[in-house]
Amino acid sequence: MSSNATFLTPQAVLFDAYGTLFDVYSVASLAEQLFPGQGQALSVLWRDKQIEYTRLVTTSNDGAHYQPFSALTRAGLRYACKKFGLDLNAEREEQLMNQYRHLSAFPENKEVLRALKARGLVTGILSNGDPDMLGVAVRSAGLEGLLDHVLSVDGLRKYKTDPAAYALGPQATGLKPAQILFVSCNAWDALAATWYGYQTLWVNRYNLPFEELGTQPTRTGSSLRDVLRAFPN
């Protein structure tokens, strides 16, 4: 793990959900069954369009075109299938959307969250997901009882990386941003959270370069277990 800045012991840990706790590319397995030879490519483009749409509806016309994350997820799926010329009928669409609601959780999730709770730390999710999506994902992964907060941007009608989205953390915990460790596998998310003022851990699961915009996350690791290195034994 690399460290790029003075790192004080945080009092709370907030996790991004999609890509960090839940594997957004786990939908590739079902997509491959439905569209042989296209599953992995479909999962990647689906995710890219989903995130692109969150930015589009946040920055256009002061959010007048906002749609919930589930709707943008469905729109991203439809776009990706059209791009690849795939026959996405109603049944296949619902199969894939249901799979997205029950994404595979990364295997270290429970271990890390239990360890944080044992240290008496506040834990939570801060996500673009709408409340229903997050509720299903948390229950499906068996994470109830391990999270003090499940924070959705839906009430704001603005997605990350809008500063108002990151402000949900301090508002919910009563802590300053610098007292909170924000954890994300998405480099753009870790960067924006760093700019907002959080301590950050970028979980670089896929051995990618960080964003080239002059700012580094507070720390970089390769799995959620690296969160625990931020705290004394």
**Residue 220 and residue 167 share a domain:** yes
The residue among 76, 101, 126 that closes a domain is 101
What backbone torsions phi and psi does residue 124 show, to the nearest 5 degrees?
Answer: -175, 170
Annotation says 23 is catalytic: no
* Type of residue at 9: T
Using the 3D structure, point to which of 85, 101, 117 is the last residue of a domain.
101
pLDDT at 5: 47
**Following DSSP, what letter does each residue of 159-185 receive, concatenated?**
-TTSHHHHTHHHHHH---GGGEEEEES
Q: pTM of the entire structure?
A: 0.93
Helices (H), 65-186: 69-83, 90-101, 109-118, 131-141, 163-166, 168-173
Which of 53, 68, 101 is a domain's end point? 101
Q: Is the dihedral of CA 121, 122, 126, 130 positive or negative?
A: positive
Q: Residue 4: its pLDDT value, please? A: 45
> What span, in angstroms and rounded, lies between the C-alpha atoms of 53 and 58?
8
Q: What is the model's pLDDT at position 2?
A: 46
CATH code, 125: 3.40.50.1000
pLDDT digits (tens, 9 = 90+) for 157-199: 999 999 999 999 999 999 999 999 999 999 999 999 999 999 9
The number of folded domains in the chain is: 2
Q: Which of 16, 23, 162, 226 is catalytic?
A: 16
In the prediction, which pLDDT does 61 show?
A: 87
Residues of the chain with pLDDT under 70: 1-7, 233
Contact 176, 170 (CB under 8 A): yes
pLDDT at position 43, please? 95
User: Can you give the pLDDT at residue 1?
Assistant: 45
Residue 7: per-residue pLDDT = 62
